[in-house]
Amino acid sequence: MNRRSARPGSTATTPGPVRPAGAPPVRVRPAAAAVLLPCTAAVAAVAAAHLVPAATWLPRLRAACFPRLAGLGHPRHVALTFDDGPDPATTPRFLDALDDLGVRATFFVLGESVVRHPGLTREIAGRGHELAVHGWTHGRPWLPAPARDLRETELAGRVVHDTTGRRPRWYRPPYGILTSGRWAAARRAGLRPVLWTAWGRDWTADATPASVRAAVGADLRGGGTILLHDTDRTAAPGCWRAALGALPGLVRDCREAGWEVGPLAEHGVGARAER
């Protein structure tokens, strides 16, 4: 070991232990890392528990593994559903079109819109349609908030019941993202989650009646549930016209295939799985 003698005005240096040549460097994990890793793992576990159920958004997985959640019902019936209303600028047009076609549907409504437009909400029910819960607002649930989910889901169900005198039965989360918190909230509120088997992709700016009809037809089978939108409040402005224009052709296609078209209340959700 080589030592350098200290001289006046100089600083003595004593090298540490000599490490053999080629030996890997010594790494000391900071104490903070020992705390951070378990915390990170815990956060990841919570996030996974929150979002993993949302994998049911995948249509093929949903239809194969969760037929009731997919809205599969009686094979000679098709459920027609609309999301995001009520909207006084557009929903009445859909109500008139459905009257002309002799069809009743299920409208998944937002609680905040029901409060703003109670008269229109009562009109939907008065024309023979079914109302269901789409949440209070149309937010994305990326962060776990079980207390908020329960509070808002129960409140939305209550305002629908108080406004129409009819207790809603179904729940569909915005964007179809059914997190564990929203699933639990729906069950606690006495609502049954249901998504869809075919949609029209009618929320895009380039949607047309023909494209909506083709998109629905590509996935629709007897016993399926159709998702359309009766408003553009969370989509491209004016895109509701594509869904409205596609309605007559969609209903005609279903009838020519020998399928009745109606609300979820008449759909027998789960009937196919039980047969």
Kindly report, residue by residue over 59-110, the tens digit of the pLDDT: 666 666 778 898 999 999 999 999 999 999 999 999 999 999 999 999 999 9
Give the pairing of strands 225-229 and 77-85.
parallel
pLDDT at 140: 75
- The residues pairing with 225 across neighbouring beta strands, listed in sequence order, are 79
* Domain membership flag for residue 10: no
Catalytic site includes residue 117 = no
Report, as an integer, the average pLDDT of 40-65.
51
pLDDT at 59: 64
20-45 pLDDT tens trace: 555 555 454 555 545 444 444 434 43
* Domain membership flag for residue 6: no
Report, as an integer, the average pLDDT of 193-217.
96
CB 107 within 8 A of CB 94: no
pTM, to two decimals: 0.79
Q: Which of 83, 84, 87, 230 is catalytic?
A: 83
For every residue of the chain, DSSP letters joined together read ---PPP-TTS------PPPPTTPPPP----HHHHHHHHHHHHHHHHHHHHHGGGGGGSHHHHHHH-HHHHT---TTEEEEEEEEE--TTTHHHHHHHHHHHT---EEEE-HHHHHH-HHHHHHHHHTT-EEEE--SS-----S--HHHHHHHHHHHHHHHHHHHS----EE--GGG---HHHHHHHHHTT-EE---SEE--TTSTT--HHHHHHHHHHH--TT-EEEEES--TTSSTTTHHHHHHHHHHHHHHHHHTT-EEE-GGGT-TTHHHH-
CB 176 within 8 A of CB 201: no
* Domain membership flag for residue 29: no
The domain in which residue 177 lies consists of: 53-274
Catalytic site includes residue 229 = yes
Number of folded domains that form the chain: 1
* Reported confidence tier of residue 146, pLDDT bands at 50, 70, 90: confident
* Reported confidence tier of residue 10, pLDDT bands at 50, 70, 90: very low
* Domain membership flag for residue 1: no
* Domain membership flag for residue 16: no
Q: Which of 149, 229, 232, 267 is catalytic?
A: 229
Report, as an integer, the average pLDDT of 132-148.
85
Higher pLDDT among residues 141 and 10, named by residue? 141
* Domain membership flag for residue 70: yes
* Domain membership flag for residue 259: yes
Supply the CATH number for residue 129's domain: 3.20.20.370
* Domain membership flag for residue 26: no
